[in-house]
Amino acid sequence: MPLYRDEGIVLRTQKLGEADRIVTLLTRGLGKVRVVGKGVRRTKSRFGARLEPAMMVDVQCYEGRNLDTVTQAESLASWGDVLARDYTTYTAAAAMLETADRLTEEREPNLQQYLLLQGALRSMAEGLHDPGLVLDAYLLRALAIAGWAPSFHDCARCGAEGPHRAFNLAAGGTVCPVCRPVGSAAPAPETLSLLAALLAGDWVVADASQGRHRREGSTLASAFLQWHLEKGVRSLRLVDRRDPDAQPRLDSRVTWAPAPLSVVKTVEEAHAAAQAQA
Amino acid sequence: MYEGVVQDLIDELGRLPGVGPKSAQRIAFHLLQADAIDVKRLVEVLTEVKAKVRFCETCGNVAESEQCRICADPRRDGTAICVVEEPKDVVAIERTREFRGRYHVLGGAISPIDGVGPDDLRIKELMTRLASAEVTEVIIATDPNLEGEATASYLARFLRPMGLRVTRLASGLPVGGDLEYADEVTLGRAFEGRRLLDV
């Protein structure tokens, strides 16, 4: 089979040589594949823009000895362009793409993961829900498909009917007072309800949740993912979470004033220092 | 496998970007056959470049002193700063001879999947430069790819409240290309950025 055609979502790209890129695609039929896009970094490339992360494409590839080569690519959905216009959605989408990359294997078809990622990217690009909620819902459901479905109601160890207050990563979710291991977390009941709603796709409950429960839920969802993956997901550290309860981070009425470089460590600190001086 | 110093040379050359084992072997044998004076000149240039060249303290571009040639030039327009990812982007823009302002090199683009966040780039140095009342416009010239666009939107979020004119390089059709081969994203951006024909 020298030539094959499939639809897929671009998970990541890596520079190769002078003007090429290695493109990692999660395809509908073949699972994850790594292909070479020849000359896609040149401004005159015919399909360079179609092989950017978060793009959904119909690709035709030629099988090679090590890596396959893209011969044609047509856009099916260009979510990447929309997502990159907002930093919050960009970082959340990057975390979803990296998670998909980590949870799938090369040349092992995984239609459920493909459809889940497709739905999550579409939802995020359309701005239907808070990007942080979409990300957490994606993480929980992707883990569930991978066989690590967390429990947010019944005891994850003995199955005793809930609701239970304690949450333990190693046990796989909420645990009853009898099974509760030492060091288990005790999140707010509303946080557990939010996580259960995200896992089940109950967006009415999720959208109505409060900021502090979303923050706690995000921490638990990220920790649950990191626990089950052997290597951490780097993008999660950089996700720019929107806090619905907080004031806007940048106040446009504040004029900029110089922040001494020596006393600031981060960009956030630089801006905070300038605001304080103003 | 070759023995001793020849293999060491091939190994060292093979560590350069874009040089595979075959190319490394070819370059090594070219150097072995070259005149001693040519090889000596190459060695001197390599030593000199490593000793002399550093990054400009103001903009992050490559320089041979504390400030690069552009930052040290008083004839350059100090009211406009063009923000680029890499020093090679400065060279590309300089070739156009369209821009007479100054530059700021970020040192990359925000890429969460590669673990590169805003604090890994020279963004806080840019903020400090912009504190100068002289600057009125920031031109964001990051690459027109996902990471470049996201970096541009991140910068715009910080720069707009400062009352500066924040602009982004236009995206569109390459000169000399055929319209039918343009992809939807590029063509869509060309439509977004269309301008009035002033004839």
The CATH number covering residue A224 comes to 1.20.1440.120
* A167 and A56 both lie in a single domain: no
Q: Could you give the ipTM of this predicted complex?
A: 0.79
* A25 and A119 both lie in a single domain: no
Q: Which residue in A52, A87, A90 is closest to B145 by CB distance?
A: A52
| d(CA B54, nearest CA chain A) in Å | 20
* A37 and A97 both lie in a single domain: no
Chain A residues closer than 8 Å to B113 by CB: 12, 53, 94, 97-98, 101, 234-235
Chain B residues closer than 8 Å to A57 by CB: none
The domain of A226 spans 87-238
Residue A169 lies in a domain: yes
CA distance B8 to A46: 41
What CATH number corresponds to the domain at position A50?
Answer: 2.40.50.140
Angle separating helix axes A131-145 and A211-228, nearest 10 degrees: 30
Residue A82 lies in a domain: no
* A114 and A228 both lie in a single domain: yes
Which pTM does this prediction carry? 0.83
**pLDDT tens-place string over residues B64-119:** 999 999 999 999 999 999 999 999 999 999 999 999 999 999 999 999 999 999 99
* A112 and A233 both lie in a single domain: yes
* pLDDT recorded at residue B20: 87
Q: Please compute the mean of the pLDDT values over residues A229-241 and round it to a whole number.
A: 87
Domain assignments of chain B as residue spans, ordered by start: 4-52, 75-168
Contact in structure between A258 and B131 (CB atoms under 8 Å):
yes
| Cβ–Cβ gap B113/A254 under 8 Å | no
- For A16, A35, A95, A105, the CA distances from A63, given in Å and listed in that order, are 18, 9, 29, 18
| d(CA B56, nearest CA chain A) in Å | 16
CATH topology of domain B4-52: Helicase, Ruva Protein; domain 3 (1.10.8)
Torsion of CA B58, B63, B67, B70, to 10 degrees: -90
- For A3, A22, A34, A35, A69, the CA distances from A66, given in Å and listed in that order, are 15, 12, 9, 9, 10
Residue A115 lies in a domain: yes
Contact in structure between A46 and B183 (CB atoms under 8 Å):
yes
Torsion of CA B18, B21, B26, B32, to 10 degrees: 110
Residue A248 lies in a domain: no
| d(CA B50, nearest CA chain A) in Å | 23
Task: Name the closest residue on chain A to residue B144, using Cα atoms.
Answer: A49
Residue A30 lies in a domain: yes
| Cβ–Cβ gap A270/B119 under 8 Å | no
If you count them, how many residues does chain A have?
Answer: 278
Q: Which residue in A53, A86, A98 is closest to B146 by CB distance?
A: A53
| Cβ–Cβ gap B119/A266 under 8 Å | yes
CA B116 to chain centre: 16
Residue A255 lies in a domain: no
* A51 and A189 both lie in a single domain: no
Domain end marker among A77, A95, A117: A77
Lowest average pLDDT, out of A47-61, A74-88, A167-181, A244-258, goes to: A244-258
* A218 and A99 both lie in a single domain: yes
Tokens linked to A183: 């060091």
Domain end marker among A77, A106, A136: A77
Contact in structure between A28 and A6 (CB atoms under 8 Å):
yes
* pLDDT recorded at residue A30: 93
**pLDDT tens-place string over residues A60-79:** 999 988 889 999 998 899 88
| Cβ–Cβ gap A84/B112 under 8 Å | no
For B75-168, CATH number? Answer: 3.40.1360.10
| Cβ–Cβ gap B18/A49 under 8 Å | no
Q: Provide the number of structural domains found in chain A.
A: 2
Residue A265 lies in a domain: no
* A28 and A99 both lie in a single domain: no
* A69 and A108 both lie in a single domain: no
Q: Please compute the mean of the pLDDT values over residues A168-189 and round it to a whole number.
A: 91
Query: How sure is the predictor about B44, in pLDDT bands with cuts at 50, 70 and 90?
Result: very high
* A126 and A163 both lie in a single domain: yes
Range ranked top by mean pLDDT from A245-254, A260-269, B105-114, B186-195: B105-114
